[in-house]
Amino acid sequence: MFKNKSYKGFTLVEMLVVMGILVILMTMGIFAGRFAIQRANRVQHQSAADQIYQGLQSYYADNREYPSTTDFGDFGTALAAGGALDGFIDTNAFDGGSDATYYYSVDTTGQNVLVCVTYGGFNDENDLGGYCNGNGFGVLPEGAGTPVAKKELTAQELDTQVAGQSGFISENWGAGGEGWGATAN
């Protein structure tokens, strides 16, 4: 009279296992995405610092010295029309990347220069370190603490060798169309 009906479907345990696997995969995807974005920002900052240094090398080829801190002014002025690097860098194509602080230092002879950038936002607020390019490694900043010795800097090295040192001019670059002179929100 009564038939045993058998239902086919997933058990609660099977559903929980599948949902757990999905959560793990989504978490891995989020971390991978964050890593890719952070790496892309790092590469863009390095490229921008390299581009500024290449412009400085062209300036040096014409003038036999790098611009003094007075002639350089700040980054916004140096890269603008009539600035020290006008004609040496295509300012219309320049993109400094995500929020960062850029630094410039030149020795008193005009023969050694460094351009540095933070990876972790304005003044490296996220403690990701920074990058420097130039020919002033082991020399700059002059008379102010430990000279910068390598291209890749940890957050601590950036703080002690670059940020706040009297031998460096600094200016913030803001992403999202803010450009030079951006301020933290």
Instruction: Give the pLDDT confidence of 16-31 residue by residue, as tens digits.
Output: 999 999 999 999 999 9
Residue 158, domain member (yes or no): yes
Residue 30, domain member (yes or no): no
Mean pLDDT score across all residues of the chain:
92
Q: pTM, whole model, 2 decimals?
A: 0.87
Domain count, the chain: 1
* Distance from chain centroid for Cα 59: 23
Domain limits at 127?
36-180
Residue 95, domain member (yes or no): yes
Residue % of the chain over a pLDDT of 70: 97
Residue 10, domain member (yes or no): no
Residue 61, domain member (yes or no): yes
Residue 80, domain member (yes or no): yes
- 156-178 burial: b if 16+ Cβ within 10 Å, else e: ebbbebbbebebbbbbbbbbeee
Instruction: Give the pLDDT confidence of 107-153 residue by residue, as tens digits.
Output: 999 999 999 999 999 999 999 999 999 999 999 998 767 899 999 99
Q: Sheet containing 179-180: which strands, arranged edge to edge?
A: 152-153, 130-134, 113-118, 100-106, 169-174, 179-180
Task: Provide the pLDDT for residue 1.
Answer: 58
Residue 168, domain member (yes or no): yes
Residue 3, domain member (yes or no): no
